[in-house]
Structure 1
Amino acid sequence: MNTIPPFDLSEQFRTIGAEINQAVLEVLASGRYIGGANVENFEQQLAAYIGVSDCVACNSGTDALYLALRALNIGAGDEVITTPFTFVATGETVSQAGATPVFVDIDLSTFNLNLEQIEAAITPKTKAIIPVHLFGQPVDMTRLMAIAQAHHLFVIEDCAQATGAEWAGQKVGSIGQIGCFSFYPTKNLGACGDGGAVTTNDPEIAATLRMLRDHGRRGGYYHEAFGVNSRLDAVQAVILQIKLRYLDEWNQQRRKVVDRYHQLLSSILGIVLPQAPTGGKGVWNQYTIRVTDRELGEISLRDPLRVTRRDRVRTQLQSKGVNSMIYYPLPLHLQPIYKSLGYQVGQLPESDRAAREVLSLPMFPELSIAQQDQVVYSLKDCLT
């Protein structure tokens, strides 16, 4: 029995390893490891790819979000509307900036923000919206930008899982005032370590971002603000330059994997397949199904951490050599760090349900037909 990982970086490295090795050795020989031409070249290349005037590289996707909030002067007394069904960094950075996250439920078909509920969450304290293009599927940015503009709100796109995704022919990260990217290794465009970037079409925002990422200074030892140390190193920059050249090809391979998953899984009862929103072009960082649970109801409202049918299926899959992931088992509004905000189980029911039903199957561009067959047949066995 072959074991299939959720994501396999070794296959990717076998393809481009020689290029990466040469580029990294050149950086090491240069003695220039922080900043410099390699980082600047990557910033220019990513800006051109996304379709913006400016890109500011930083240490991580989390830092990208934090720097974006700081650059827009969002802090104490402000509210930021976002989704509870995401990685903690989306809400965590809002809190770290001094503002308060306001969680709005999701659309269960796409796992993205339910745009029908945003306006009801807007108050005089609301300053921004952070849509998350979750699992590589773009939010309806046409509608979201119309809401934001009507209420004079900033839009910070969380593109951590969606590099290369598009809405209405425009790359995510180029539509709101700011786009935030993560280059964590498992992302569509992943570094060999941590990394992130912020994109914008506003040169003043870009200048502020550059200042904040380097201890609040524009040069020398004169500091205008309390900044952070968040710099992308040159080794990661040259690796990302190489990988950026392959990104569209890899994303297209992901779509082929998804098409086959859809074909093989469409007739199976007891699961709900992920949907791509009409008007967008996704990049499928994850292929996340829902394992429906007939037992969900009042008992689960009292105990959101109870073992679900999804949990049992995942355990059975693992015994068959298929490793899957749960993104995310507990939504942000129910996390211990946000207990003070007063959210209750059942208040955001679609997010609660998603957390108990989602299961991300193995997904990477190099996933073979044989591996995919093993995933599908194993899943069928677990569901019967």
Structure 2
Amino acid sequence: MKVNFFTSKREYEDKKNEFDSAIKNVIEGGVSTLGAEVKDFEKAVEEYTGAKHAIGVASGTDALVIASDILGFKDGKEVITSPFTFLASTSCIARHKGRPVFVDIDEETFDIDVNKIEEKITENTVGILPIHLFCQMANMDKIMDIAKKHDLRVLEDAAEAFGMRWKGNGDNLRHSGTIGDMGIFSFFPTKTLGGYGDGGMIVTNDDKLAELARMYRVHGASRKYHYDYLGYNSRLDTLQAAVLGVKLKHIDNAIEKREHIAKLYMERLSSCKSIEIPKVKGEQKNVYYVFNILAEKRDELAAYLKENGIGNSIYYPVPLHLQKCFSYLGYKKGDFPVAERIAEKILALPIYPEITEEEVEFVCETINKFYNK
């Protein structure tokens, strides 16, 4: 049996008529930038997430870069974030000549350890950039309390967190990305809400920040050929918006299927003493974007799974503070021991709504077989 780490083909076959019709409508209507489908999708995201404003851009990375620029994460100012994440969560700060300041992660959730944030705040700190990673939102109650106390801006990296909701100390669940000053989503194909190419979005409840984001995505123009700022060329593609509009209609069902698959993994792997399954902390709704395990002999297991036709991935093999591109920050091995330890053991297993129970059973049987050898 071959088990893909991810495939979009099954979803396409299942909803072929919807996708074909959406794409055909865009092409027949005349291809345009920021077409009607983009506006419709932005409105749908606002309704789904509760965000006052949703601004479509070309990628999750662009969303981070633009939002960081707008929030002043630049010119030597310090922004506190996690070293255990994808490059874009930190390069968006460095690209504007801001200074990323790392804090180690929580052992159980892999999110930023909120109890270590305040000790890193200086007179030069302007913001916090929490990352909602894999299946877990960061503790936004604590982060927002710290930000308010020290007058800091908060940019939520919710690239992996579309559909996640945080209750915390409040009465209502709040969607990821809508709690801080600004938030971002990625619509990279593997994401819980993923397109057929790149795409991203900025969300905010602040009218002024939304106005700036809309200008920044079109070169900084307030109207055509009138430039108030040095902005970017970063617009959500109309064809991608059409695809995403179809997928958003089915997102709750897709999340339910992911949860079912995750529970299967937990049940079938619960007796394996050589692996550990991360915990979800706090009152929140997760979406199981990635199903990770912490595995003994991780690299050997990954190779064994591959030999048996099972796709897998490692998010992330090297924390950012040890990456060559950030060597100028002066960090060294041992500075963030939890992130370093997790990076040596973490392994992602296949999970997407269309994966079958038979395939999950095969993955679990193969893992148990490896450790029982």
* TM-score w.r.t. length of structure 1: 0.94
Is residue 49 of structure 2 the alignment partner of residue 65 of structure 1? Answer: no
Partner of 1:298: none
- Which residue of 367, 376, 380 maps to 2:355? 367
Aligned residue runs from structure 1 range 1-384, under 5 A:
2-168=1-167, 169-292=173-296, 309-384=297-372
Partner SS for 1:218 = strand
* Cα deviation, residue 32, structure 1: 3.2
* Cα deviation, residue 151, structure 1: 1.0
Q: Is the 8 A contact 1:106 1:350 kept in 2?
A: yes
Alignment size in residue pairs:
367
Q: Is the 8 A contact 2:80 2:127 kept in 1?
A: yes
Q: Is the 8 A contact 2:135 2:280 kept in 1?
A: no
Give the superposed CA RMSD: 1.0
Deviations 1:321-351 (A, max 9, x none): 2111001100100000011111111110010
Specify every segment of 5 or more residues in structure 2 that has no aligned partner in the other structure, as ranges. 168-172
The residue type equivalent to 2:270 in the other structure is: S
* Cα deviation, residue 47, structure 1: 1.1
* Cα deviation, residue 379, structure 1: 0.4
Partner of 2:170: none
* Cα deviation, residue 73, structure 1: 2.6
Partner SS for 2:354 = coil
* Cα deviation, residue 278, structure 1: 2.6
Distance 2:72 2:311 in 1: 42
Distance 1:380 1:258 in 2: 17
Partner SS for 1:14 = helix
Deviations 1:161-211 (A, max 9, x none): 110001001111111111100000000000111000000000100000011
Distance 2:86 2:251 in 1: 23
Partner SS for 1:198 = strand
Partner of 1:295: none
Specify every segment of 5 or more residues in structure 1 that has no aligned partner in the other structure, as ranges. 293-308
Partner SS for 1:376 = helix
The runs of at least 4 consecutive aligned structure 1 residues that moved more than 6 Å come to none
Q: Is the 8 A contact 1:81 1:101 kept in 2?
A: yes
Distance 2:13 2:89 in 1: 33
Distance 2:249 2:161 in 1: 16
Deviations 1:252-308 (A, max 9, x none): 11111111111111110111112112311111110000013xxxxxxxxxxxxxxxx
Query: Which sits farther off after the overlay, 272-281 or 174-183?
Result: 272-281
* Cα deviation, residue 158, structure 1: 0.6
Partner of 1:302: none
* TM-score w.r.t. length of structure 2: 0.97
Partner SS for 2:123 = coil
The residue type equivalent to 2:361 in the other structure is: D
Partner SS for 2:15 = helix
Distance 2:224 2:268 in 1: 59
Distance 1:322 1:11 in 2: 17
Distance 2:214 2:189 in 1: 24
Distance 1:108 1:364 in 2: 25
Q: Is the 8 A contact 1:140 1:279 kept in 2?
A: no
Distance 2:291 2:278 in 1: 7
Q: Percent same amino acid among aligned pairs? A: 37
